[in-house]
């Protein structure tokens, strides 16, 4: 197979970004126990900046710039920042500031899809001398009524799902397109991590036991690239939560005089067939 010069140039540029950019494996989480509900109920969210496969260390979050909810029906975006409260999150290695949110059932009455978006304050990765800001989305559904799960949210960077993020069988394939300023990002660098520890949301902690043991360190954070149309395709080999991150794709490259990596994160839940 002959590789076209443009493809080689794009891959070389992506490799250069990888080498000169941050040592990643950081993932901004929006955790919710279940994303496919039969009916509306109170929701308990955990917003944690961490390394999901390893269960830590957890990285201290500043107060988020925004946390919002957009239902398929009955109106527009709701600001959820009044529901946020800081907590000390216990990882397997340390404690650090994270955020919890208790969202009342009344906000979830609409059937269909509900999109939650978090814009965190940039995090200073002191060892690398740069900032990381991960625009993070989670999509859930009430009652099985289809909605706007595939609609972009107008973020500087985002991952637009091409498959329902809340309706995936284990062993299936998930597809999405990487966007920056609403346009596809060809050959975007992608990182994927599995949430490999139980989440005790009431105790604000990860469980100590691992679900699976990585045979080697490279298995903890999987890497790939989007294709020439910005589309990424991943397998879902195990039930649970999978985080997908598109790295350093934002137009804003500096913050407070230091390099800034603006990443897009989408969380996907897979279930076993029983």
pLDDT, tens digit (0-9, with 9 covering 90-100), for 204-263: 999 999 999 999 999 999 999 999 999 999 999 999 999 999 999 999 999 999 999 999
Q: What is the mean pLDDT of residues 129-153?
A: 96
Q: Of the ranges 1-5, 93-97, 98-102, 208-212, which one carries the lowest mean pLDDT score?
A: 1-5
Query: CA neighbours within 13 Å on the CB side: how many for 160?
Result: 21
Q: What is the mean pLDDT of residues 55-69?
A: 97
pLDDT confidence tier of residue 15, bands split at 50, 70 and 90: very low
pLDDT of residue 146: 86
Spatial distance between the Cα atoms of 273 and 117, rounded to a whole number of angstroms: 29
pLDDT confidence tier of residue 75, bands split at 50, 70 and 90: low
CATH 1.10.260.40 for the 5-271 domain, yes or no: no
- What is the average pLDDT score of the chain? 91
Please answer whether residues 170 and 238 qualify as being in contact, where contact means their C-beta atoms are separated by less than 8 angstroms. Answer: yes
| Cα-only R_g, the chain | 18
* Whether pLDDT at 268 is above 80: yes
pLDDT confidence tier of residue 130, bands split at 50, 70 and 90: very high
Q: What is the mean pLDDT of residues 173-191?
A: 98
Please answer whether residues 206 and 91 qualify as being in contact, where contact means their C-beta atoms are separated by less than 8 angstroms. Answer: yes
Give the pTM.
0.90
Spatial distance between the Cα atoms of 132 and 236, rounded to a whole number of angstroms: 26
∠ at Cα 86 (118, 66), nearest 5°? 25
Per-residue model confidence as pLDDT tens digits over 142-167: 999 989 999 999 999 999 999 999 99
Q: Do the strands 123-125 and 199-200 form a parallel or antiparallel pair, or are they unpaired?
A: unpaired
Please answer whether residues 98 and 86 qualify as being in contact, where contact means their C-beta atoms are separated by less than 8 angstroms. Answer: yes
- In the chain, what is the greatest distance between 2 CA atoms, to the nearest angstrom? 57
pLDDT of residue 76: 85
pLDDT confidence tier of residue 4, bands split at 50, 70 and 90: very low
């Amino acid at each position: 197979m002959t590789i076209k010069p443009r493809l080689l140039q794009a891959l070389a540029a992506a490799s250069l970004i990888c080498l000169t950019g941050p040592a990643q494996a950081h993932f901004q989480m929006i955790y919710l126990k279940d994303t496919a509900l039969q009916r509306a109920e109170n929701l308990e969210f955990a917003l944690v900046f961490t390394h999901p496969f390893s269960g830590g260390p957890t990285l201290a979050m500043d107060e988020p710039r925004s946390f919002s909810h957009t239902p398929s029906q009955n109106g527009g975006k709701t600001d959820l920042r009044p529901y946020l409260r800081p907590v000390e999150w216990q990882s397997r290695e340390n404690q650090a500031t994270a955020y919890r949110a208790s969202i009342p059932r009344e906000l979830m009455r609409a059937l269909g899809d509900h999109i939650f978006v978090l814009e965190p304050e940039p995090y200073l990765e002191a060892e690398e001398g740069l900032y990381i800001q991960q625009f993070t989305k989670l999509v859930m559904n009430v009652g099985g009524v289809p909605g706007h799960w595939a609609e972009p949210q107008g973020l500087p960077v985002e991952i637009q799902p091409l498959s329902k993020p809340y309706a995936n069988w284990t062993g299936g394939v998930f597809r999405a397109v990487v966007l920056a300023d609403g346009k596809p990002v060809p050959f975007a660098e992608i990182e994927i991590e599995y949430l490999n520890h139980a989440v005790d949301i009431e105790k604000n902690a990860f469980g100590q036991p691992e679900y699976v043991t990585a045979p080697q360190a490279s298995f903890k954070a999987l890497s790939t690239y989007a294709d020439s149309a910005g589309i990424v395709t991943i397998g879902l080999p195990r039930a649970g939560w999978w985080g997908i991150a598109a790295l350093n794709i934002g137009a804003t490259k500096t913050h407070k005089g230091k390099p800034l990596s603006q990443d897009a994160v989408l969380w996907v839940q897979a279930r076993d067939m029983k």
